Amino acid sequence: MDAPLLESVPNVSVGRDVAAVDALVAAVRAGAEAGAAVDGSRAVVADVHRDSDHDRSVLTVLGRGEALARGLEGLARAAVAALDLDAGHGVHPRVGVLDVLPIVPVDPDDFSGARACAHELVQRLGRVLGTELGVPVVRYGLDAHGLPIDGAASTGAVRRGGPAGVAARIAAGELDLVAGPPQPHHTAGVTICGVRDVLVAFNVDLDVDDLELARAIAARVREAAGGAEALPGVRALGLRLASRRIAQVSTNVEQHGACGPARVLETVARIATELGVGVSAAELVGLAPDSALAPLRYVCTGLGVPLLAGAAPSLDEAIRAAS
């Protein structure tokens, strides 16, 4: 029987160097080919989102078995060998060159099996990163029972305090290491790795170059705000995109079934209007499920806001193609 289908969405801390991103994608594909030769499995890079202002790239990889495992192992080795955490100067927070390595169960026919397989893959990747490469691997997301890990349910929770804060919390035993030393790697930093559910990474561009305004809007819509405008399952940051001379509200939508990117866009646009500014664009980072895409496209049309997305299919289409 085939291994369950999994999605991985590695976030690597390089977005300006096109050749470097291409080399990382090639490493995934080479590893996947090697894995396919072992057990006949398959893994594909379904999408690559590269952002120069964030100096970050987000890959979407779908696959099974040895193909997926060896593809991600190849990415880990290539990222640690080629990238230096101190060389990146993007606006997105980061603590490692392979900053986030989530594993997402998406098998429509065996979700429970996929979740167990996802946790096994985290352990395997931890051995490569932590034992072989000397990069501390911090566990985040969901535990084996599907419950949020206390203090590490999201990447934002892990990154609290920045690289120095993460190092101190590892040393104090506040963060659980999958594998690796208690000190960050001298060039690769730390990798945040774990099992999570599907989320939608979604950005809203404002038509002004005002970082503080973007931060103010983000503070009102993020779930942790707790106010009337706080959106469930939404984590938000205000950022400035220097190359485009605009500010951006960057979000992770973690409960898209209850509050999808369409509601995020409507809320951000309403608050922005109250503050006397407009919304210039909406942007998907990676793949989103059909249930989130359809309402988002409808709201974009109603607001007259272009939706920036790659030519890749929806997550549902990519899953069907990989199944």
Topology (CATH level 3) of domain 200-322: Alpha-Beta Plaits (3.30.70)
pLDDT at 303 over 80: yes
Nearest-angstrom CA–CA distance, 126 and 144: 16
pLDDT at 162 over 90: no
Tell me the β-bridge partners of 55. Answer: none
Domain extents for the chain? 6-195, 200-322
Mean of pLDDT values over 147-168: 94
pLDDT at 1 over 90: no
Nearest-angstrom CA–CA distance, 223 and 164: 26
Query: Which of left, alpha, beta for 315 (phi over 0: left; psi -120 to 50: alpha)?
Result: alpha
Mean of pLDDT values over 282-287: 96
Percent of the chain with pLDDT over 90: 94
pLDDT digits (tens, 9 = 90+) for 80-96: 999 999 987 899 999 99
pLDDT attached to residue 313? 83
pLDDT attached to residue 163? 86
In whole numbers, what is the pLDDT of the chain averaged over residues?
A: 96
pLDDT attached to residue 12? 98
Mean of pLDDT values over 274-299: 96
pLDDT attached to residue 305? 97
pLDDT digits (tens, 9 = 90+) for 233-243: 999 999 999 99
pLDDT attached to residue 268? 98
> Among candidates 95, 114, 89, which has minimal Cα distance to 104?
114
Tell me the β-bridge partners of 172. Answer: none
How would residue 226 be classed by pLDDT, with cut points 50, 70 and 90? very high
- Render the burial of 127-150: b for 16+ CB within 10 Å, e for the rest: ebbbeebbbbbbbbbbbeeeeebe
Residue type, 230: A
Tell me the three state secondary structure of residue 251.
Answer: strand
User: Annotated catalytic residue: which of 49, 92, 186, 256?
Assistant: 92
User: Is 119 a known active-site residue?
Assistant: no
pLDDT digits (tens, 9 = 90+) for 245-283: 999 999 999 999 999 999 999 999 999 999 999 999 999
pLDDT attached to residue 311? 66
pLDDT digits (tens, 9 = 90+) for 82-138: 999 998 789 999 999 999 999 999 999 999 999 999 999 999 999 999 999 999 999
How far CA 265 is from CA of 119, 225, 305, 309, in Å, comes to 33, 17, 10, 15
pLDDT digits (tens, 9 = 90+) for 178-221: 999 999 999 999 999 999 999 999 999 999 999 999 999 999 99
Instruction: Decide if domain 6-195 falls under CATH 3.20.20.70.
Output: no
Tell me the β-bridge partners of 126. Answer: none
